[in-house]
Amino acid sequence: MPNTDDEGTMTPGGVLQTPKGVHDILPNDHEYYTYIKKVVRHRLRQAGFRRISTPMFEFTQLFQRAIGNDTDVVSKEMYTFQDKKGRSLTLKPEGTAGVMRSYIQNNMQALPQPVQLYYIEPHFRYDRPQKGRYRQFWQLGFEIVGESDPALDAQIIYLANLINKDLGIADLFTVQLNSIGTPESRKEYMRVLQDFYFDKERSLCELCKTRLKTNPMRLLDCKEENCRILAQIAPKISEYLDAESKEFHEDLKEYLTELGIKFVENPYLVRGLDYYTKTVFEFWDKTEGAQNAIGGGGRYDGLVELLGGKPTPGSGYAAGVERIVANMKREKIRVPHKDVIHVFIAQLGKEAKKKGLSLMSDLRDAGVKTMASLGKDSVRTQLGLADKFGAPYTIIIGLTEVREGVVIIRDMKVGTQKTVPFDEIVDVVIKLIGKQNLDTYSAGELTYE
């Protein structure tokens, strides 16, 4: 069977196409991405978080250590490759590991604690594509590192919910909440679980039989009917929490209530990894549950130490941007955006074109979003374009107008026109579109040391 290198990479025209599971974010979708980024940056900046970007790829070892070799993410979902010197590198499959590596490497222990960081970046997993799951996906996340207090966990859940609220999707989700205690108390609980399942192994699904040895807590969120029934009568982790974790969890719930955050206590919500401690939470769809979870997080007091740093507590949240966009679309939410033009300039004749060029610069400098089609020279065609671009006003300049030092401003909606002298154009246009609608965004004044 022939199997050329080109197979599957080309469209019929011989044009390259994207590999499986990745896609372009086209202008219409970027309206959502831009809006989400704005909300995230605004809310986190308000709360004193600062932005961090870790590299797209790290040494594979980082993820192996942070996430765990036994997890699906590490064992089968990573984009791993070798550089020219044979070192194993991996495109980041999640954000926390890199941020914690950076915290240690850049000696952020020396900063006032806690250190509050956020990110919004592409991540990569070699997965079979599915709804809300792509091989390159944007993830937003934030972490509070260096202090351990239930109030910080409450803050994180509060901020995650606040961001969802700003995006119009908070009401679609419930906060599922649990505590998985310290590694020590968890060890005790896992022994109890294994005892409980000891004589019931035959009723478990194949997967759970192996989980029983490697990670018994995962039996609790298995979806198989028999496993679920057993999980419901299995001992609850809340009964085996150490005193400190129990108190921590009670405090967290108090703080959440104070902040007006509704939550669902879910004793089946677990994490497999050793470094997770105490708080775990996820945002679940109200009707579809975990099937349509939008994000989740928890406390990871063991992670920094695991990566070779001093013992340092941490707590964080991460959410999938594609999933957020999908939910916003499902709710028929339209985001405000500034990709609209104010004025289209139609010109006829070389002198008019020259005038049009300088006028276009003047208008743009004043914050008027201005387009023209300088390659076309039929007024009819240009007006048609102005219409298609949705310009509310068209400025028409012909040879006659240039000679008389005026232009025609046409209101595209009602079709009325008026003649305006050159030196009044910018003022007249600003009045027409409204000062508050001008695109006068500035990146801020530069200063020098």
Residues 283-322 that bind RNA (CB under 7 A): 290-291, 293-296, 318-320, 322
Q: Name which of residues 185 to 204 contact RNA (CB under 7 A).
A: none
Q: Which stretch binds RNA (CB under 7 A): 21-29, 189-197, 307-315, 428-436?
A: 21-29
| DSSP state at residue 402 | H
Residue in 32, 118, 137, 197 binding RNA, rule: CB under 7 A: 137
CB of 222 to RNA, least distance (A): 7
56, 341, 408, 433: residue in contact with RNA (rule CB under 7 A): 408
- State which of residues 72, 171, 424, 427 lies at the interface with RNA (CB under 7 A): 72
Using CB under 7 A, which residues numbered 236 to 275 contact RNA? 272
Instruction: Report, in Å, the least distance between residue 107 CB and RNA.
Output: 27
132 binds RNA (CB under 7 A): yes
Is residue 121 part of the contact set for RNA (CB under 7 A)?
no
> Residue 82: beta bridge partners?
88
Binders of RNA among 36-65, rule CB under 7 A?
A: none
Strand partners, 408: 396, 419
Judged by DSSP in three states, 349 sits in coil
Minimal CA–CA distance to 119: which of 93, 99, 91? 99
Site for RNA in 327-356 (CB under 7 A): 348
For RNA (CB under 7 A), the number of binding residues is 77
Ordered alpha helix ranges (H), 331-398:
350-365, 379-388
Say whether residue 73 binds RNA (CB under 7 A).
yes
Compare residues 158 and 344 and give the one whose CB is closer to RNA: 344
Question: Closest CB to RNA among 335 and 412?
Answer: 412
Angstrom CA distances, 109 to 32, 143, 144, 215, 309, stand at 36, 14, 12, 33, 9
For RNA, which residue of 65, 101, 125, 249 counts as binding (CB under 7 A)? Answer: 125
Interaction between residue 436 and RNA (CB under 7 A): no
| Site membership for RNA, residue 129 (CB under 7 A) | yes
Question: Which C-beta is closer to RNA: that of 131 or that of 354?
Answer: 131
The smaller minimum CB distance to RNA, of residues 20 and 191, is found at 20
Query: Judged by CB under 7 A, which of 5, 11, 443, 446 binds RNA?
Result: 11
Cβ-based nearer residue to RNA, 299 or 323: 323
Query: DSSP readout, 66-121?
Result: HH-TTSHHHHHS--EEE-TT--EEEE-S-SHHHHHHHHHHTTGGGSSSSEEEEEEE
Candidates 12, 27, 311, 336; binder of RNA (CB under 7 A) is 12
Site map for RNA, 83-112, x if CB under 7 A?
A: -----------x------------------
| Cβ proximity of 384 and 339 under 8 Å | no
d(CA 166, CA 169): 8
Sheet containing 277-285: order of strands:
50-51, 115-124, 136-145, 314-320, 295-299, 277-285, 173-179, 263-265
* b/e burial code for range 325-336 (CB count within 10 A of at least 16 → b): bbbbeeeeeebe
**DSSP secondary structure of 416-445:** -EEEEEGGGHHHHHHHHH-GGG--------
Asked if 20 interacts with RNA (CB under 7 A), we say: yes
**What's the CA gap between 342 and 259, in Å, rounded?**
43
105-to-49, 102, 120, 196, 308 alpha-carbon distances in Å: 19, 5, 21, 44, 10
2 binds RNA (CB under 7 A): yes
CB within 8 A of 26, min separation 6: which ones? none
Near RNA in 363-402, by CB under 7 A? 376-381, 383-388, 396, 398-401
Nearer to RNA, 107 or 130 (CB): 130
Query: How many other β-carbons are positioned within 10 Å of the β-carbon of residue 49?
Result: 20
Q: How many CB atoms lie within 10 A of CB 285?
A: 18
Least gap, CB of 139 to RNA (angstroms)? 5
C-beta of 218 vs 246, nearer to RNA: 218
CB of 282 to RNA, least distance (A): 7
Q: Which residues pair with 88 in a beta bridge?
A: 82
Check binding of 143 to RNA (CB under 7 A). no
> Residue 4 or residue 436: which is nearer to RNA going by CB?
4
Measuring CA to CA, which residue among 85, 407, 141 is closest to residue 296?
A: 141
